[in-house]
């Protein structure tokens, strides 16, 4: 008599966000999809995408139409495809899962609590959709995945839900080796420089970082400051104008380098050649650049808030992000204390061993298995 074959758990993975996401959310979705495609015993994956192009322009009418198409995709098309494919789980990494359940359980990823913390930063239609559909669907989900315990605790201050349903699952650094440029970027800085990677949003606290850097330049330090990242597309969130004003006021045009959005191949070169990474943000859901810097053996200096200490552990040096002098002091310490710098690099390398997309995926698969038994 043949042994009974175990039925595979069918997972519908929503990959629509790959069409529009560019930062940490894209890194997460790409990485877990790559892991899913390696094959895992007992699981069958179906990657579900919209059949229509996604509008990302600025025309107000077309943006409203795109919002309606997004709702239709999430609440009609995605559930229907999941039903047809016989999915046990529908997994969405962009906060939104279907409200309706057609024989499957849902698991969304909430990367942060920014919808609640910074409502003015979001288009009113997106905010309405999140509050009316996203939150409702999340409350019905089997689990909500967050990247850190900090993110979980923050979300619980806004969302009335069983804490046991929110599952922290750590992330990991992006693998940029396969897309490393054959030649260094033409504007890559020669000599020592501090690095920051991220969009110019107010919460990134880049104004204070540049102010701290200007203090060091006034003392005669010759390190430069490289700020990789695009200006925020939303004017009320953007800090680029203030940053540029401080740069001009202090005559730092040749010292503060802003190459804009940098592709992964070039970004790897910026990390690899950096003297130290500085992360002054006042709020992060996770903070992938911390791990990316560890990967390239770069010492990391972070703000002592939100998720950053949780990710950095004892491998980082921390400062009060609201205190410009403290930021400058920690940058100064890393420049002057070569022994400490070597210790930070060694600890960062060791800390990085605790983070991998294989570990992340195994944790997610465990949640899929438990949810499928509901």
pLDDT number for residue 24? 80
Q: What is the pLDDT of residue 21?
A: 83
pLDDT at 182: 43
Specify whether 211 is located in the same domain as 166: no
Residue 1 lies in a domain: no
Kindly give the parts of the chain with pLDDT less than 70. 1-5, 176-190, 233, 235-236
Q: Are residues 15 and 154 in the same domain?
A: yes
Residues 116 and 232 in one domain: no
161 and 190 belong to one structural domain: no
- Is 19 in the same domain as 103? yes
Res 176: pLDDT: 63
Q: For position 183, what pLDDT does the model report?
A: 44
Indicate whether 4 belongs to any domain: no
Same domain for 71 and 204, yes or no, is: no
Tell me the CB-side half-sphere exposure of residue 6, using CA atoms within 13 A.
8
99 and 202 within one domain: no
**Collapsed DSSP state (helix, strand, coil) of residue 99:** coil
In a domain, 96, yes or no: yes
Residue 4 to residue 290: CA distance in whole angstroms: 47
Domain carrying residue 189: 177-352
Crossing angle, helix 324-336 and helix 338-352, to 10 degrees?
100
The SS3 call for residue 186 is: coil
What's the farthest any 2 CA atoms get from each other in the chain? 83
Kindly state whether residues 256 and 317 are assigned to the same domain. yes
Q: In the sheet where 224-228 sits, what is the strand order? A: 256-260, 224-228, 193-197, 276-279, 300-303, 317-319
pLDDT of residue 177: 58
Report the pLDDT value the prediction gives residue 353, as an integer from 0 to 100. Answer: 96
**Nearest-angstrom CA–CA distance, 74 and 324:** 44
Please indicate, yes or no, if residue 205 is contained in any of the structural domains: yes
Residue 3 belongs to some domain of the structure: no
**Do 155 and 195 belong to one domain?**
no
Specify the pLDDT at position 349.
Answer: 98
Structure tokens at 333: 């310490």
pLDDT attached to residue 120:
83
The CATH number of whichever domain residue 286 belongs to comes to: 3.40.50.2000
Specify if 34 maps to a domain.
yes
Q: Residue 52's closest CA among 16, 85, 104?
A: 16
On whether residue 158 sits in a domain, the answer given is yes
User: What is the full DSSP assignment across 344-373?
Assistant: HHHHHHHHHTT--HHHHHHHHHHHHHHHHT
The verdict on 291 and 347 lying in the same domain is yes
Do 214 and 326 lie in one domain? The reply is yes
Domain annotation covers residue 209: yes
Residue 249 and residue 164 share a domain? no
Q: Could you give the number of structural domains in the chain?
A: 2
Q: Which residues contact 93 (CB under 8 A, 6 or more apart)?
A: 14, 17, 25, 28, 29, 32, 108, 109
pLDDT of residue 124: 85
């Amino acid at each position: 008599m043949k042994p009974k074959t175990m039925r595979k758990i069918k997972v519908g993975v929503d990959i629509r966000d790959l069409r529009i996401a560019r930062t940490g959310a894209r890194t997460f979705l790409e990485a877990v999809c790559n892991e899913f495609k390696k094959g895992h015993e007992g699981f069958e994956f179906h990657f579900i995408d919209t059949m229509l192009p996604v509008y990302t322009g600025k025309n107000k009418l077309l943006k409203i139409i795109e919002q309606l198409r997004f709702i239709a995709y999430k609440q009609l098309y995605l559930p229907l495809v999941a039903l047809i494919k016989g999915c046990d789980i529908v997994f969405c990494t962009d906060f939104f899962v279907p409200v309706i359940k057609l024989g499957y359980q849902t698991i969304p990823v909430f990367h942060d609590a920014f919808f609640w913390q910074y409502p003015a930063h979001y288009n009113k239609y997106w905010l309405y959709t999140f509050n009316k559909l996203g939150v409702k669907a999340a409350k019905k989900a089997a689990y909500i995945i967050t990247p850190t315990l900090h993110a979980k605790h923050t979300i619980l201050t806004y969302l009335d839900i069983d804490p046991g349903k929110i599952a922290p699952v750590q992330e990991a650094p992006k693998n940029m080796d396969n897309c490393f440029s054959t030649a260094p970027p033409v504007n890559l800085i020669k000599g020592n420089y501090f690095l920051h990677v991220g969009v110019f949003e107010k919460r990134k606290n880049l104004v204070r970082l540049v102010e701290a850097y200007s203090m060091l330049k006034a003392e005669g330090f010759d390190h430069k400051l490289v700020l990789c990242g695009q200006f925020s597309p939303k004017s009320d969130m953007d800090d680029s104008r203030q940053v540029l004003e401080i740069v001009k006021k202090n005559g730092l045009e040749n010292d503060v380098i802003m190459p804009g959005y940098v592709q992964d191949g070039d970004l790897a070169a910026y990390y690899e050649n950096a003297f130290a990474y500085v992360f002054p943000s006042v709020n992060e859901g996770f903070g992938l650049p911390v791990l990316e810097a560890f990967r390239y053996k770069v010492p990391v200096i972070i703000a002592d808030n939100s998720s950053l200490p949780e990710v950095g552990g004892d491998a980082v040096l921390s400062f009060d992000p609201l205190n410009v002098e403290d930021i400058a002091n920690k940058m100064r310490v890393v420049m002057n204390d070569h022994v400490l710098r070597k210790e930070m690099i060694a600890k960062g390398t060791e800390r990085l061993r605790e983070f991998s997309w294989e570990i992340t995926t195994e944790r997610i698969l465990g949640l899929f298995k438990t949810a499928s038994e509901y």
